[in-house]
Structure 1
Amino acid sequence: MSSQPSLSWLTDVSVFRVNQEPAHSDHVHYASADDCAGGRRTLFQSLNGDWQFRWSPNAASRPADFFKTPESAASFGTIRVPGHVELQGYDQIRYINTMYPWEGHTALRPPHIDMEHNPCLSYCRTFDLNPELKDRRVYVRFEGVEQAAYVYLNGSFVGYAEDSFTPSEFNLSPYIRDTGNYLCVEVFKYCKASYIEDQDFFRFSGIFRPVTLFAKPEAHIDDVHAVPVVENRQGRFSLSLKLSYDSSFSGSVSYALADKNGKSVAAGCQQITNENADVQFAEKELGDVQLWSNESPYLYSLHITVSHADGAVVEVIPYSVGFRSIEIKNRTILLNGSPLHIHGVNRHEWSAEKGRCIGMEEMTSDIETCRKNNINSVRTCHYPDQIPWYYLCDTYGIYLMAETNMESHGSWQKMGAVEPSWNVPGNDPLWEKLVLDRAKTNYETFKNHPSILFWSLGNESYSGTAIRAMNDYYKRTDPGRLVHYEGVFHKPEDKKYISDVESQMYAPPERVREYCTSDGSKPFVLCEYMHCMGNSLGGMKQYADVFDDCPHFQGGWIWDFIDQALFVTDAATNRKVLRYGGDFGERPSDYEFSGD
Structure 2
Amino acid sequence: MEGFSYEIVKNPRIFKMNTLPAHSDHIAYRSDEELDKKETSLRKSLNGLWKFFYAKSYKYAITGFEKKEYSCDDWDDISVPAHIQMEGYDRPQYVNVEYPWDGREEIAPPELPERFNPVASYVKEFVLPKQWEGERIFISFQGVESAFALWLNGEFIGYSEDSFTPSEFELTPSIQKENKLAVQVFKWSSSSWLEDQDFFRFSGIFRDVYLYTIPRAHIYDIKIEPTLDDKLKKATLDVEMKFEGLPWQANYVLSYKGKPVLMGSVDTQKVKRFRVNFDNPFLWSAEKPNLYDLKIQLFDDKNKVMEVIQEKVGFRKFVLDGGIMKLNGKRIVFKGVNRHEFSCDTGRVVAKEDVEKDVWIMKQNNINGIRTSHYPNGEHLYRLCDEQGLYMIAENNMESHGLWERTVQRNFDRSQILPGDNEEYLPMMLDRVNSAYQKDKNHPSILIWSCGNESFGGSVIQRMADRFRELDPHRLVHYEGIFWDRRYPNSSDMESQMYTSVANIEKFLREHKEKPLICCEYAHAMGNSNGALFKYTDLSDREPRYQGGFIWDFVDQTIRKKNRYGEEFMAYGGDFLDRPSDYNFSANGIVDGQRRAYAKMQEVKFNYQNITATFRNDQDSLFMKVKNKHLFTWTSEYDCTVTIECEGELLRKIVCPVDVAPLGEVEVLLPLTLPKEAGEYTLNAYFTLKEDRAWARRGYEVAFGQGVFVVDGQKKKEEKKKKLTLIRGTYNVGIRGENFEVLFSYLQGGLVSYRYGGREMLE
Name the TM-score class by shorter chain. over 0.9
Aligned to 1:238: 238
Give the structure-2-normalised TM-score: 0.75
User: Deviation at 1:536?
Assistant: 2.8
Aligned pairs, number: 584
Q: More deviation in 253-262 or 142-151?
A: 253-262
Question: Which of 527, 532, 536 in structure 1 is aligned with 2:529?
Answer: 536
Give yes or no for the alignment of 1:190 onto 2:188: yes
One-letter amino acid of the structure 1 residue matched with residue 353 of structure 2: E
1:516 is displaced (CA, Å) by 2.7
Residue 48 of structure 1 deviates from its aligned partner by: 0.3
| Residue deviations 1:470-501 (CA, integer Å, cap 9, x gap) | 01001121110000000111012321x21000
| 8 Å CA contact 2:523, 2:530 repeated in 1 | yes
Q: Secondary structure at the match of 2:482?
A: helix
After the TM superposition, which residues 96-495 of structure 1 pair with which residues of structure 2 at under 5 Å, given as runs?
A: 96-178=95-177, 180-231=178-229, 232-233=231-232, 234-245=234-245, 251-272=248-269, 279-281=272-274, 283-414=275-406, 417=409, 419=412, 420-495=414-489
User: Residues 414-457 of structure 1, C-alpha deviation per residue, up to 9 Å, x if partnerless?
Assistant: 19727534011111112011111000000011000000000000
SS at match of 1:370: helix
Corresponding residue number in structure 2 for 1:566: 559
Determine the structure 1 residue equivalent to 2:539: 546
> Is 1:197–1:407's contact at 8 Å kept on the other side of the alignment?
yes
The superposition leaves residues 61-116 of structure 1 with CA deviations (integer Å, 9 ceiling, x where unpaired) of 11111000253323211101000111111002210001111110111111110223
Change (3 A) 1:250 1:465: closer
Say if 1:48 and 1:82, in contact at 8 Å, map to a contact too: yes
1:45-64 deviations in Å (ceiling 9; x for gaps): 00000000010011111111
Shift of 1:265: 2.6
For residues 201 and 134 of structure 2, the distance between their equivalents in structure 1, rounded to whole angstroms, comes to 41
1:118-151 residue CA offsets vs partner (Å, 9 max, x unmatched): 1110000100122343321111100110111000
Shift of 1:266: 4.4
8 Å Cα contact 1:266/1:286 also seen in 2: no
1:514 maps onto 2:507 in alignment: yes
Cα separation, 2, equivalents of 1:164 and 1:195: 12
CA–CA separation in structure 2 for the residues paired with 1:196 and 1:129: 38
2: distance between equivalents of 1:465 and 1:72?
50
Higher relative contact order (CA 8 A, sep 6+): 1
- Aligned-residue CA RMSD in angstroms? 1.5
Write the letter of the residue equivalent to 2:491. Answer: I
**Alpha-carbon distance in 1 for matches of 2:443, 2:383:** 7
- What CA distance in whole angstroms lies between the structure 2 residues aligned with 1:243 and 1:450? 23
Instruction: Say which SS state the counterpart of residue 73 (structure 1) adopts.
Output: coil
Q: Percent identity?
A: 40
Q: What one-letter code is carried by the residue in structure 1 that aligns with 2:358?
A: D
Residues 144 and 207, structure 1, Cα contact 8 Å, conserved in 2: yes
- What SS does structure 2 have at the residue aligned with 1:126? strand
Which structure: larger Rg?
A: 2
Matches of 2:149 and 2:195, distance apart in 1 = 18
Using the TM superposition, give the Cα deviation of residue 269 of structure 1 relative to its aligned residue in structure 2, in angstroms.
Answer: 1.7
Task: Report the Cα distance in structure 1 between the residues aligned to 2:332 and 2:576, rounded to whole angstroms.
Answer: 43
Deviations 1:370-408 (A, max 9, x none): 110011100000000001111111001110100000011
**Residue 3 (structure 1) shift:** 6.2
Contact 1:403/1:457 (CA < 8 Å) preserved in 2? yes
Consecutive unaligned residues of structure 2, counting only runs of 5 or more, are: 589-763
| Mapped contact 2:12–2:110 kept (Cα < 8 A) | yes
**Corresponding residue of 1:577:** 569
Q: Deviations over 1:571-592 (max 9, x none)?
A: 12x2211010011111110000
Counterpart code for 1:593: F
Amino acid at match of 2:100: P
Distance 1:131 1:559 in 2: 50
Give per-residue Cα distances to partners, 1:11-40, cap 9 Å, x unaligned.
111100100000000000001111111112
Counterpart CA distance in 2 for 1:287 and 1:241 is: 24
- Alpha-carbon distance between aligned partners in 2 of 1:394 and 1:541, rounded to the nearest angstrom: 28
5 Å-filtered alignment, 1:8-19, equals: 8-19=7-18
Measured in 1, the distance between the counterparts of 2:468 and 2:268 equals 32
* Separation in 2, partners of 1:133, 1:303: 25
SS of the aligned residue for 1:475 comes to helix
Q: Secondary structure at the match of 2:376?
A: coil
- Conserved 8 A contact 1:254-1:270: no
Q: Please give the alpha-carbon distance, in whole angstroms, between the structure 1 residues aligned to 2:541 and 2:247.
A: 60
Work out whether residues 65 and 72 of structure 1, in 8 Å CA contact, stay in contact via their aligned partners in 2. Answer: no
Question: Within 2, Cα distance between the matches of 1:133 and 1:404?
Answer: 35
Contact 1:517 1:550 in 2 (8 A): no
The residue type equivalent to 2:268 in the other structure is Q
Contact residue 253 and residue 260 of structure 2 kept, 8 A: no
Change in 2 beyond 3 A, CA 1:61/1:584:
same
Preserved CA contact (<8 Å) 2:143 2:164: yes
Structure 1 residue 9: deviation in Å? 1.0
Tell me if the contact between 1:403 and 1:455 (Cα under 8 Å) persists in the aligned partners.
Answer: yes
Q: Which secondary structure does the structure 2 equivalent of 1:63 belong to? A: coil
TM-score by length of 1: 0.96
Q: What CA distance in whole angstroms lies between the structure 2 residues aligned with 1:415 and 1:516?
A: 28
Distance in 2 separating the partners of 1:34 and 1:545: 52
Give the whole-Å Cα distance in 2 for the aligned partners of 1:348 and 1:125. Answer: 30
Q: Residue 66 of structure 1 aligns with which residue?
A: 65
Instruction: Specify the SS of the correspondent of 1:517.
Output: helix
Match of 1:79 in 2: 78
The amino acid across from 1:214 in the alignment is Y
Change (3 A) 1:132 1:261: same
Contact 1:581–1:594 (8 Å) recurs in 2: yes
Distance 2:357 2:440 in 1: 22
Confirm or deny: 8 A CA contact 1:512 1:546 kept in the other structure.
no
Answer yes or no: is the 8 Å Cα contact 1:252–1:270 preserved in 2.
Answer: yes
